[in-house]
Amino acid sequence: MKLENPWKQNPWFKSVAVAQERARKRLPEPVYGALVAGSERGQSVADNQAAFVELDLAPHVVGPCAERSQATPVFGQAISSPVIISPTGVQAVHPDGEVAVARAAAARGTIMGLSNFASKSVEEVTATGATTFFQMYWTGDRDTMIQRTTRARQAGVKGLIATLDWSFSTGRDWGSPEIPEKVDLKTMVRMAPKVVTKPRWLWQFGQQYR
């Protein structure tokens, strides 16, 4: 049996750190800052990163299983590995936003978490075929929340992520990057001085208005 070269260059990225560095080089500063920053002094971000560092992997070389599988069910939905895509709102990384992420989730057989503040509609996301869980914040009155969940169910959402520990605190101790509600032509013109150094990003979004 021919073994695949483990040192073969990954055409995408080798780790989260590499992906983050590529994002820093490619994205406008406000967009990148919004992705990596937490609220206030960023304590929750630091705590989460520290918690993941405590997880160890112990590879077994002797006596491996003939067949290995990371597949597992999550709330009745079968996925290929115990990793799902966390909801992330107002995506200004790519014009396709959450739709592109949902396509990736479908291709890898995992769950797409769709933010309450997504830049794409729930109908557009579920149309990709990805198993989708809709994130619901405790905002608005009872009727508004019922309307959101009803729309999500009608669009084919399979689960609900209830976020109850979040407040509208957008302050950051090192400065708060502006996060536009949507990236349209007006927003692009207004933010031009901040994004002119990232022509590839600007060109991608500009293609929507040709």
Triad 68, 70, 74: Cα angle to 5°: 150
Triad 20, 131, 144: Cα angle to 5°: 95
Enclosing H/E stretch for 30: helix 29-36
Least confident range from 4-8, 22-26, 158-162: namely 4-8
The mean pLDDT of 82-92, rounded to a whole number, is 83
pLDDT interval class at 137 (50, 70, 90): confident
Instruction: Kindly tell me if the per-residue pLDDT of 197 is higher than 60.
Output: yes
Using CA atoms, how far apart are residues 122 and 206, in angstroms rounded to an integer?
23
- pLDDT value at position 159? 96
Radius of gyration over every alpha carbon of the chain, rounded to an integer in angstroms: 20
The mean pLDDT of 148-171, rounded to a whole number, is 86
Instruction: Kindly tell me if the per-residue pLDDT of 174 is higher than 70.
Output: no
Instruction: Kindly tell me if the per-residue pLDDT of 166 is higher than 90.
Output: no
Long-range contacts of 9-12 (CB under 8 A, 24+ apart): none
pTM as predicted:
0.81
Indicate the average pLDDT of the chain. 84
Q: Is 42 exposed, middle or buried (0-12, 13-18, 19+ CB in 10 A)?
A: middle
Percentage of residues of the chain with pLDDT beyond 90: 38
Give pLDDT tens digits for 7-19: 666 667 778 888 8
Q: Is 185 exposed, middle or buried (0-12, 13-18, 19+ CB in 10 A)?
A: exposed
Q: Which domains does the chain have, with CATH numbers?
A: 19-36+72-165+179-209 (3.20.20.70)
- pLDDT value at position 164? 84
Instruction: Kindly tell me if the per-residue pLDDT of 130 is higher than 90.
Output: yes
